[in-house]
Each structure stands twice: as structure tokens, then as C-alpha cells.
A and B are shown apart, each in its own frame.
Chain A
């Protein structure tokens, strides 16, 4: 036996623990362990730590973990949506609408603030910008004034287009959700 000030070296005791045998059994076979209280205690303690480590509770992943993995590999499982290619279509539509709204707002604001610039661009463009300016003014009136008084035909058309677009997107979103039975889970 290798000694460590008369005691077994920690590596030796660890090797005995690694053998997977019961401490009592090991102690019976080793004279030193029978006579040395410290080494015996060390073996028993390490054995208990070993046993605790073997019986540690395993963590539980969040609900939908497995479904999340399958969704990511493109495999639908009962009510779980894969990453559909529609997501790209939807994202494209949202971007298109956002760009249109931004461009429209810019155009309307520009035409309302600088109507004289439009005159140099020709009669048709002037007409368009003038009308756009009127619409913008009406739009502001709609926002700040009584709704009924400011709601003329042009404003109504603009609002209707905006509303129709929003409804179309909502229907598309709903159709995708219905087709695949829900949203893609995060895995948590």
C-alpha cells in the first residue's frame, strides 16, 4: 500500500470508490481500513458523494422541447408548426406594406409642405401632388377633427385600402396558423 503519512493516498481511496463495490466489502478486505478510522471515514464519505452523484435529479426541459426540435427540422407533429416557407411570404408582405406606408407618408407630407416644387414636374404630377396634399390635409383633419365632417371620398378610399390590407394580412396569418395548427414553439 502506498502511504501518505501512514494513511492511504486520496487517489487510492478514489480508485476503490471507482470500483463500484460497497464500502463495507472493501473495508473487510483491507487491514489498514479496519484499523485506520480516518481512511475508513474518507472511503465512506467518498462513497456517499459517489452515490449522491449517481442519483442526482435530472433537469426537465420546458414543455414543447421535443416538438420544438421536430419543428426546427421541418417535421410537423400533432398541432406543431414547422418553420413554413409562408413565413417568408408573410414577412415580405409586411415589409412591402411598411415601405408603402413610409413612402406614402413621405410623399404626402412633401406634397403638403412644398406644393410649388410639383409645378416644375409637369401638369400631371402637379395634379397628383396637389391631390395628395389635399388628402394629407384631410387625413390630418380626420385625426384632429370630428370624424364625420372630415371623411370625404378620398380619405374613405385610403382608409378602406389600409383596412383591406390589414384584413388580408390577418386572414393570411390565420390561414397559416390553421394549416399548421399553431405557432412554432420556442422549445421552452
Chain B
């Protein structure tokens, strides 16, 4: 049974700072996933995630527990990553993804196409990973916060400073666009769709 976050935080506040390693281990992978989706660079994402853990540690006394530690930490990390992107860092473009013309010309443009998917887990997951990186920032980040950080609509809205309706719309459109792109990608590989 994992020790709850609030219990660990209490111990850290009482001077057992080494216990912070438990929280770092608990949230580093999901944190890094978020940073990677925003920054798109492994090294920079790791730096940002470490910075966020550092800031979270220094701000631990001010953490009131109104949200979970994870949500609070992701907010710090999100803000840190966004501020890094605003400093004009160039973004890497993922390779192997589709351009919009391909989507336009894809089979989904043809309403008569047979839309029955005959593809399974791994194929979809591979293409989802590739195509996720090609989505616009607001779609990609919303999907990441929802699926990888497992945040609620309200938490995402608060973090991204947009209305909840916008979050829902972004999520739905992102998922639909992702679906279209994955199907086109699979059809181009000759896999049945």
C-alpha cells in the first residue's frame, strides 16, 4: 500500500526531507510526459521537470492541500513549460507524421468509405503517439492533461486559464482529429480500415 501524499508531505515538513524522493519517484514519469508534450525535447523536458520539483519543494510550506499534490505539481510544471515556450525556443517537429493535405485526401473525406476499424491496440497506440505530437498546442496539451495527468475538466480549465466548455471542445476536437489522422496513417500503410 502506497503511503498517501499528504502523509509524506507532513513528514517532509517535519524535517524528513529525504522523503521527497518518494514524491519525485511517484510523479516524475507523468510530469515528464507533460513536459515532453509541451516542450518536445527530452533534455529540456527533464530540466523543466526537475525545476518544477525544486519549486514545488520550496513552496511546500505554502501547499494547503486544497488540491492533490499531483495537481498542484502539474500546475507548477505546466506554468514552467509554458514560460519556457514563450522564450522563443524552437520546437522539434516529429517525423513520420502526416500533413494536413494527406488528411484532406484521406479516405475519411469520402463518406461512403467503410469506416469499420480492423486495427488493434499496438497499431493504434503507435500512431496515436506520432500524431499526438502534430496536434495544435491547445489540443495536444488538453489531451495530455486529461489522459496522462488524469485531471478533470475543471482542473484543466483552471490550469490552462480557459472556460470548461473550451476544455471539453478542445478535447473532443482533438480526439476526433487524432482519430482521423490515425485512420489515414493506417490506410496509407495498407492496414485495413
Contacts and interface: CB of A to CB of B under 8 A. Distances in A.
Partners in one complex: yes
Interface of A: 10-11, 14-15, 17-18, 37-38, 41-42, 44-46, 48-62, 65-66, 68-70, 72-73, 75, 77, 187-188
A42 B179 CA distance: 9
Contacts of A50: 175
A56 B154 CA distance: 23
Contacts of B119: 48
Given A69-B57, A75-B18, 10 more contacts: A14-B172, A17-B175, A45-B179, A45-B183, A50-B175, A56-B33, A60-B29, A70-B21, A73-B17, A187-B46
A48 B176 contact: no
Contact of B46 (A14, A44, A62, A77): A62
A77 B18 contact: yes
A37 B148 CA distance: 31
A72 B49 CA distance: 13
Contact of B115 (A10, A41, A59, A62): A41
27 contacts: A14-B172, A38-B115, A41-B116, A41-B117, A45-B117, A46-B175, A46-B176, A48-B124, A49-B124, A49-B128, A49-B178, A51-B124, A52-B128, A53-B143, A58-B33, A59-B36, A60-B29, A61-B29, A61-B49, A65-B46, A65-B49, A66-B25, A69-B20, A69-B57, A70-B24, A75-B18, A77-B21
Given A46-B176, A46-B179, A49-B175, A69 B117 contact: no
B137 interface: no
A14 B146 CA distance: 14
A41 B54 CA distance: 47
A70 B116 CA distance: 51
Given A49-B182, A56-B125, A73 B143 contact: no
Interface string B98-140: 0000000000000100011101010011001100100000000
B75 interface: no
A45 B120 CA distance: 11
B178 to A, nearest CB: 6
Q: Which 6 A-B pairs have the closest CB atoms?
A: A41-B115, A14-B172, A58-B29, A53-B147, A52-B124, A52-B128
A29 to B, nearest CB: 21
